[in-house]
Amino acid sequence: MKLSVVIPIYNEKGTIREIYHAVQAVDIDKEIVLVDDYSTDGTREILAELAGGNTRVVLHDRNQGKGAALRTGFQNVTGDIVIIQDADLEYDPGQYHKLVQPILEGKADVVYGSRFCTGEYRRVLFFWHMVGNKFLTLLSNMMTNLNLTDMETCYKVFRREVLDGIRIEENRFGFEPEITAKIAKMDLRIYEIGISYAGRTYKEGKKIGWKDGFSALKCIVKYNLFR
């Protein structure tokens, strides 16, 4: 079994080395696909240093968004299992083993790492982000008839064959409700595992905002009712 770690990146000069080395430190057979979405802060120069060995770097020629970076990353994986890893330090790669376990045991096709269904540590931050997240998850669940606790989580793990059957259309953060709607229609075994979460503030580099919440709302309706 080989794990493909897809890391979408945009202006993460301050964190990319640390998260990259944290991923490399995980004792698991893996490849790392770093997709830079046209960073302008010096991130690309760091990525040039990291390329080689089990690491592939793919560069966008213009900024398109997280969904577009993931679409590019998925097209470049060769592993049996694919996991999404954000380039910041909010999610801990040390939890890969438990995230892939249900797939390795033959129980799951897709695994979501939940920040809310958890006994792990979680940094206390924005109340209204939590409310928005839970509202979007609830609405998504109503449309998909799933009972997820964290639809918007970064940590989504797939058997590669699942991704081979999905065409990603959204370029930005609408990827999360889009992929959830599409896997819900595929008669897959979906599991959820509690994860730790060390969220960051906007001063620390957080990028998602209220406009992305409205976009997610539209995507929930679009991909559940009109696709």
Strands, E assignment, the chain: 3-9, 30-36, 55-59, 81-84, 110-114, 156-159, 190-194
- Residue 225 tokens read as 């009712």
pTM of the predicted structure, to 2 decimals: 0.92
Confidence of residue 165 (pLDDT cuts 50, 70, 90): very high
Q: Give me the domain span that covers residue 152.
A: 3-225
More confident residue, 44 or 198: 44
pLDDT for res 183: 98
**Mean predicted confidence (pLDDT) in 52-68:** 98
Q: How many domains does the chain have?
A: 1
Beta carbons of 65 and 172 less than 8 angstroms apart = yes
pLDDT digits (tens, 9 = 90+) for 62-121: 999 999 999 999 999 999 999 999 999 999 999 999 999 999 999 999 999 999 887 676
What is the percent of the chain where pLDDT is above 70? 92
- Least trusted range by pLDDT, from 137-141, 145-149, 212-216, 218-222: 212-216
The CA distance from 8 to 218, in Å, is: 23
pLDDT for res 217: 93
CATH code (residue 171) = 3.90.550.10
Confidence of residue 125 (pLDDT cuts 50, 70, 90): low
